Amino acid sequence: MKKIFLILLIIFTLSCGNPSTLITPPGENLVGTYELFDISGGWLYGAGFRTFDDTSIVHGTLWLGGNSFNRIIFYSNDPLNVPSSTDIGTYNIAFTNGTTEGNYSVLTSSMFESGTFKTSGMNLTFDTGSGQATWTKISDSTGEVSARGIITKLGVTTFMYGTHAIRDDSTQIYYALMSDTINLDNYIDQEVSIKGNLLAGYPVDGGPDFVNVTSVE
């Protein structure tokens, strides 16, 4: 009887999982980190108009705060990991059908984007009329990290992503870095404090976490 009870307890525990790992669907809470699932058509962003026609080689991360918007998209076959599209600004959402669809707009320093959106499960789909992108929510956190240490320039590595790196003085955690807003070359060999957002889909090939740096002090 005792063995049966233990077996049932194990099954119940496994079926329930860890509540702390549960992610709130975007229809209930938009705030969080999203990984690009699919993208097609043409998109206007800070550097111009880009058509994404081969989604198999595109990856990206979207962070939504209370009203803050941070989106970065890469071509996977770019050896330098130079962003194809980067947008940092604010967004507005207006639901028109419960919590499953509505209208949205994004404003950055160099562009304005608007269209409709839909939520389905963990997916959030934006449609501008000329392009459509579906993002899958992977965390209720915006993935913000901070570290203090010396910034170094990355050369040839086994993991092949990032332009710079930093090892946090207190935790000894090593991060690969990039930034679409800050010239990290200005801080090489200097001890600084950085803040940024973790990029979805990393680490890979035995490499470190990959951070998009948003501030350096």
Whether residue 18 is predicted with pLDDT greater than 70 in this model: the reply is no
- Give the tens place of pLDDT for each residue, 89-142: 899 999 999 989 999 999 988 889 999 999 999 999 999 999 999 999 999 988
Instruction: Domain 32-139: give its CATH code.
Output: 2.40.128
Rounded average pLDDT over 178-196: 92
Provide the pLDDT for residue 12: 41
Quick one: pLDDT at residue 13?
A: 40
The third-level CATH classification (topology) of the domain covering 144-216 is OB fold (Dihydrolipoamide Acetyltransferase, E2P) (2.40.50)
Please write down the long-range contacts of 203-209, taking CB distance under 8 Å and 24 or more positions apart.
203/159, 204/159, 204/161, 205/158, 205/159, 205/160, 206/158, 206/159, 207/157, 207/158, 207/159, 207/160, 207/161, 207/176, 208/159, 208/165, 208/173, 208/174, 208/175, 208/176, 209/145, 209/173, 209/175, 209/176
For residue 203, give Cα distances in angstroms to 28, 34, 68, 130, 155.
29, 16, 25, 32, 17
The arithmetic mean of pLDDT across residues 150-164, rounded, is 92
Query: pLDDT by residue (tens digit) across 164-181?
Result: 999 999 999 999 998 878
Separation CA 141–CA 54 (nearest Å): 29
Q: Please state the domain extents for the chain.
A: 32-139, 144-216
Residue pointed to by tokens 């915006």 = 142
Give strand pairing partners of 192: 149
Cα–Cα nearest to 177, from 205, 139, 215, 206: 215
Half-sphere exposure (Cβ direction) of 150: Cα atoms closer than 13 Å: 4
Confidence of residue 16 (pLDDT cuts 50, 70, 90): very low
Per-state percent for the chain, helix, strand, coil, to nearest 5: 10, 55, 35
**Of 155 and 134, more confident:** 134
